[in-house]
Structure formats: structure tokens, C-alpha cells
């Protein structure tokens, strides 16, 4: 952690008159000038925010600045969830002002989308928030499908697989939040349990898509391929032991007096504050408001699933933890329903001018086009070869227009605003990432509280900087 300090030189330093110049010199201050006008304060300072602090001090001469310290927490500090910079002004251990500094992880993903065709865009959006790759893929593909006007043509099996993967992803994301939040409070067992359960989900993802994250598995029109043999059995096995694993975390944290002492009434933000700041997700539902886009604006067939919107009424970090634990149970419930809804059928749209022309298989050198597909396009069908060549090299055209699609990610509302000018590439794609909006609440949650509580407040928001910076 880099620390920038700005404070008045104390009275314990000896003053000696300079016979040559007359003014007082503070001995022992290596940063003081050779001479200073008598009666003025001498400051030891560093950091780019000192000018602002100095101006504020000059405006409030009645304040006592001796204990005012500016601390740069991050962007390398492990408790800032990546590369978030928090400029914190403190008086002792009390936070008097905090500001978020972002942009350290900017990757230009949204701009890169303008130089790739619509299907290739999936490989970019999946990398924004590394804990929720399937949500970025689904939001983007739903927007593309809405522009194309083919929402009703998406195969049912593909929609069920999308919901299945998203809810498994919600479990993994919440486990990361609970694990890292526990680690930052010193609850290392919570960290071990949380990452242990996340690994089980990532094993399923690797079996289904070939990758643990950044899958690019959801495509406009459906998904890249069907579930492989053994995937359903592996998921059902996960459903049997995960509830027991969750009890381990709850037994450790739910009624733990130390855990509750660190989280209750910490990071407080009521419903009025959430509405004013545009907060969504567990932070909003911890105020008692049951707002969930899966219920209010269903997509991917969520209206056909039986689940509850979990709320809490404490408006604090403890309530957000309890919501995430209960939402994991609801996700397990939805996953079980997905397995029951899986009926034989295609997983990609029938329109060959949109469907990505790939029949993937796992070979000795990794996943790629199956030998049957290569044989078909290379030796059996000239039309199939033309479709493959055109779609891979140029892509399909999307009618001019613009749409906004919002879905309920583990952190809140994830929205995709897509604009088409009628070409084979997006004219503009912009995401409403929940971490970006929710970070607005850091100041109101933390100012006036203790410095240690600032770390808990940020952890309860669960920001991921890849999604914030994009």
C-alpha cells in the first residue's frame, strides 16, 4: 500500500534562530526550506492530492489539521478487489472523506467490439468481469438477437442451457465474494470454503465449454455446442453435496460474534440512498426491496422457473452476506429445474445465415470443428462451405437500430446497449456494469466510520474492476 502523508510539523521539533536571515527554521525537517517566514506552518507532504487538501485547510482555518492524513489505499492493495484506488482522508482511524479512482485496468473492450463481427464480440465481452463471464455473454447475445428480431427463434434447449450456466455462475460469483470478504476480515476458513466450492463450479464449466472462464460459449442464436456426455450427472452430483458445503460456511459465519461485529451496521445504506445512487443487486435487496430482473422483466424463460427473490432488512454488510448465501440456495433450486427441463433438440438457431457454422468436438489437440463437420463442408456440400466461409470471414448483417437489454447478474443489473448501422460489425456497444454503478456508494457507506470498516464496505459491494473499466 502506498501512503501519501500531509500533516503539520509537530511542536516537538526545536526552533533555532538563523542569525543571517532572521526567520525561524525548524531543525530536523529535511523537507523544509532554508528559511521560512516567522509564524507560518511548515508541512511535509507528498502525493498529487495535497493541493486540494491544502486549499480546504485554508478555507477552514478553525479546523485542527494536525491529525489529517491522506492515504492512497491501492491500486495494488489486496483489499481493493483488483486495481481500485481509494483516496482516503482520515483523522486518526476515522474516515472523513473517500474517493474512488478507477481506470487502471482499462482494456478498451467496448471499442474493440467495433472492429470485430457480431459473433466475435462474444470473445471480448466475456472477459470484462472475470467472475461473471456467462452474464456478459448472455446480455450481449440477447441484445444482438433483439436487433435481429429472432428472439422467438432461439431453441428452447439453448435457453435452458443459458439459464443453467448463469445460475451456476451466480453460485461461483457469490462464493468468490464471500471468500475474499472473509479473507479481508481475517476469516481464512471462509476463504478456503468459498474458493473450494467455486472450484467445483469451474470444473463443471471446463467440462461443458473447455475453459474455466472467458468461455465465449453463448453465441447469437444459441450456444456453441450441446452439453457433453456426463455433464448432467456431474451437475446432479454437485447439487447433492453443495447444500452440505454451504452449512460449513454458515456455521462459521452466521452467528459468529466476531463476524457479526465486523459486518452489522457497517457499510450502511438505506433504500433512499440506493434509489438515489442507482444501486442494484444484493446491496439494494438488503434494504428489503425485492427488485430482481428475473422476476420483473423475465428473459431466457425465467418466468417458467420457481424461485424466490431473497431480501434482508438490515441495509448493512451482514445483510448482503446473508442475501448471497440464500441466493446460492435459490440458484441450486433453479439449476435442478433446468436439468428437468432439458429436452432433446437443437442448441443453435435454424437460420443458417445467422447460426455460427461450427460443430465442435474435443480432439487430441483440444476443442475444434469435428471431423464430420469438416468432411461435410469440404467434400459434401458447396453451400455449407460458402456459408462457413462467409460467416467466419465477414459475419452476418444486423438491421439498423439500437436496443437495451438488462439482466440480473450476481452484482446487480447488467445492461447492454447495442447500436447497429446495418453492417456486419457493431456501430457501438456499451455496458451498464453493476460494479461501476455500485462503487458510487463507497463514500456514503464509509465516511464517518472506521478505516477497517471501509474494507468491509467495499467487500460487501463486491466490485470487479475488469467490469468497471472495460
User: Does a structural domain hold residue 77?
Assistant: yes
Q: What is the mean pLDDT of the chain?
A: 82
User: Does a structural domain hold residue 217?
Assistant: yes
Same domain, 327 and 388: no
Q: Which DSSP state fits 387?
A: H
User: Does a structural domain hold residue 1?
Assistant: no
Mean pLDDT of 377-394: 80
Its pTM stands at: 0.81
- The kind and range of the H/E element at 339 are helix 317-341
**Residue that terminates a domain, selected from 59, 82, 101:** 101
CA distance 114 to 126: 16
> pLDDT (tens digit, 9 = 90+) per residue, 74-84?
777 777 777 88
CA distance 131 to 195: 12
Q: Strand 360-363 vs strand 222-223: parallel, antiparallel, or unpaired?
A: unpaired
Give which of 66, 95, 85 is closest to 2, Cα–Cα: 85
Same domain, 66 and 187: no
Facing residues of 6 across strands? 45
Q: Could you tell me if residue 22 is left (phi over 0), alpha (psi between -120 and 50 degrees) or otherwise beta?
A: left
What pLDDT does residue 2 have?
Answer: 42
Q: Residue 265's CB: how many other CB atoms inside 10 A?
A: 14
Residue pair 321/224 in contact (Cβ under 8 Å)? The answer is: no
Q: Which domain holds residue 364?
A: 355-395
Mean pLDDT of 239-249: 89
Same domain, 204 and 68: no
Side-chain half-sphere of 117: how many Cα atoms within 13 Å?
Answer: 15
pLDDT tier at 255, thresholds 50, 70, 90: confident
- Whether the bond into 426 is cis, omega within 30 of 0: no
Q: Strand 401-409 vs strand 412-420: parallel, antiparallel, or unpaired?
A: antiparallel
User: Does a structural domain hold residue 66?
Assistant: yes
Same domain, 391 and 404: no
**Given a cut of 50, is residue 19 above it in pLDDT?**
no
Give me the phi and psi of 286, to 5 degrees please.
Answer: -70, -10
Same domain, 152 and 277: yes
State the virtual CA torsion across 297, 299, 305, 311 in degrees, nearest 10: -40
CA distance 456 to 437: 18
CA distance 76 to 250: 31
- Per-position b or e across 140-179, b if 16+ CB within 10 A of its CB: bbbbbbbbbebeeebbebbbbbbbbbbbbbbbbbbbbbbb
Same domain, 155 and 144: yes
Residue with cell 472477459: 127
User: Does a structural domain hold residue 382?
Assistant: yes
Residue pair 336/239 in contact (Cβ under 8 Å)? The answer is: yes
User: Does a structural domain hold residue 242?
Assistant: yes
Give which of 116, 119, 140, 118 is closest to 128, Cα–Cα: 140
**More confident position, 421 or 74:** 421
pLDDT tier at 401, thresholds 50, 70, 90: very high
Same domain, 289 and 341: yes
User: Does a structural domain hold residue 19?
Assistant: yes
Same domain, 44 and 166: no
Three cell numbers, residue 158: 439453448
Residue pair 159/342 in contact (Cβ under 8 Å)? The answer is: no
Number of domains in the chain: 3
> pLDDT (tens digit, 9 = 90+) per residue, 48-71?
565 666 566 556 555 555 567 888
**Given a cut of 50, is residue 222 above it in pLDDT?**
yes
Same domain, 46 and 178: no
User: Does a structural domain hold residue 116?
Assistant: yes
- CATH number where 125 lies: 1.10.645.10
Same domain, 313 and 241: yes
CA distance 416 to 407: 9
Same domain, 204 and 328: yes
Give which of 332, 277, 335 is closest to 310, Cα–Cα: 332
pLDDT tier at 360, thresholds 50, 70, 90: low
> pLDDT (tens digit, 9 = 90+) per residue, 295-314?
999 999 899 999 999 999 88
CA distance 385 to 392: 11
Three cell numbers, residue 203: 470444473
Same domain, 361 and 416: no
Amino acid at each position: 500500500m502506498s501512503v501519501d502523508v500531509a500533516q503539520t510539523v509537530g511542536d516537538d521539533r526545536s526552533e533555532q534562530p538563523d542569525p543571517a536571515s532572521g526567520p525561524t527554521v525548524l531543525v530536523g525537517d529535511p523537507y523544509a526550506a532554508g528559511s521560512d517566514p516567522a509564524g507560518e506552518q511548515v508541512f511535509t507532504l507528498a502525493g498529487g492530492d495535497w493541493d486540494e487538501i491544502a486549499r480546504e485547510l485554508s478555507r477552514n482555518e478553525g479546523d485542527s489539521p494536525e491529525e489529517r492524513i491522506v492515504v492512497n489505499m491501492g491500486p495494488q492493495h489486496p483489499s481493493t478487489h483488483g486495481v481500485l484506488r481509494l483516496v482516503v482522508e482520515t483523522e486518526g482511524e476515522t474516515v472523513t472523506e473517500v474517493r474512488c479512482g478507477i481506470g487502471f485496468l482499462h482494456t478498451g473492450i467496448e471499442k474493440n467490439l467495433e472492429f470485430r463481427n457480431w459473433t466475435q464480440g462474444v470473445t471480448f465481452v466475456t472477459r470484462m468481469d472475470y467472475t461473471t463471464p456467462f452474464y456478459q455473454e448472455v446480455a450481449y447475445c440477447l441484445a444482438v438477437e433483439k436487433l435481429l428480431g429472432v428472439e422467438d427463434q432461439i431453441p428452447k434447449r439453448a435457453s435452458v442451457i443459458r439459464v443453467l450456466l448463469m445460475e451456476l455462475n451466480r453460485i461461483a460469483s457469490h462464493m468468490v465474494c464471500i471468500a475474499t470478504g472473509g479473507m479481508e476480515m481475517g476469516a481464512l476458513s471462509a476463504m478456503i470454503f468459498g474458493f473450494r466450492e467455486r472450484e467445483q463450479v469451474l470444473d463443471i464449466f471446463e467440462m461443458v465449454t473447455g475453459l474455466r472462464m472467458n468461455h465465449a460459449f453463448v453465441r447469437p442464436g444459441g450456444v456453441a455446442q450441446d452439453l457433453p456426455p456426463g455433464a448432467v450427472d456431474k451437475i446432479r452430483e454437485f447439487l447433492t453435496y453443495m447444500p452440505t458445503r454451504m452449512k460449513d460456511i454458515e456455521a462459521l459465519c452466521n452467528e459468529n460474534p466476531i463476524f457479526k461485529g465486523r459486518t452489522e451496521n457497517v457499510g450502511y445504506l438505506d433504500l433512499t440512498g440506493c434509489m438515489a445512487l442507482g444501486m442494484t443487486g444484493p446491496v439494494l435487496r438488503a434494504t428489503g426491496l425485492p427488485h430482481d430482473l428475473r422476476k420483473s422483466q423475465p428473459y431466457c424463460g425465467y418466468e417458467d422457473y420457481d424461485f424466490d427473490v431473497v431480501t434482508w432488512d438490515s441495509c448493512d454488510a451482514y445483510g448482503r452476506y446473508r442475501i448471497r448465501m440464500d441466493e446460492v440456495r435459490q440458484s441450486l433450486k433453479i439449476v435442478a429445474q433446468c436439468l428437468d427441463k432439458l429436452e432433446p433438440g437443437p442448441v443453435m438457431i435454424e437460420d443458417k445465415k445467422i447460426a455460427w457454422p461450427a460443430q465442435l468436438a474435443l480432439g487430441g489437440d483440444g476443442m475444434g470443428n469435428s471431423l464430420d463437420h469438416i468432411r461435410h463442408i469440404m467434400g459434401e456440400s458447396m453451400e455449407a462451405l460458402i456459408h462457413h466461409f462467409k460467416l467466419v470471414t465477414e459475419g452476418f448483417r444486423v438491421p439498423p437500430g439500437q436496443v437495451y437489454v438488462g439482466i440480473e447478474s450476481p452484482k446487480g443489473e447488467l445492461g447492454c446497449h447495442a447500436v447497429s448501422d446495418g453492417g456486419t460489425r457493431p456501430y457501438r456497444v456499451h455496458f451498464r456494469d453493476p460494479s461501476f454503478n455500485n462503487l458510487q456508494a463507497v463514500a456514503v457507506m464509509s465516511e464517518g466510520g472506521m478505516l477497517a470498516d471501509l474494507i468491509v464496505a467495499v467487500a460487501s459491494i463486491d466490485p470487479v474492476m475488469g467490469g468497471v473499466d472495460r
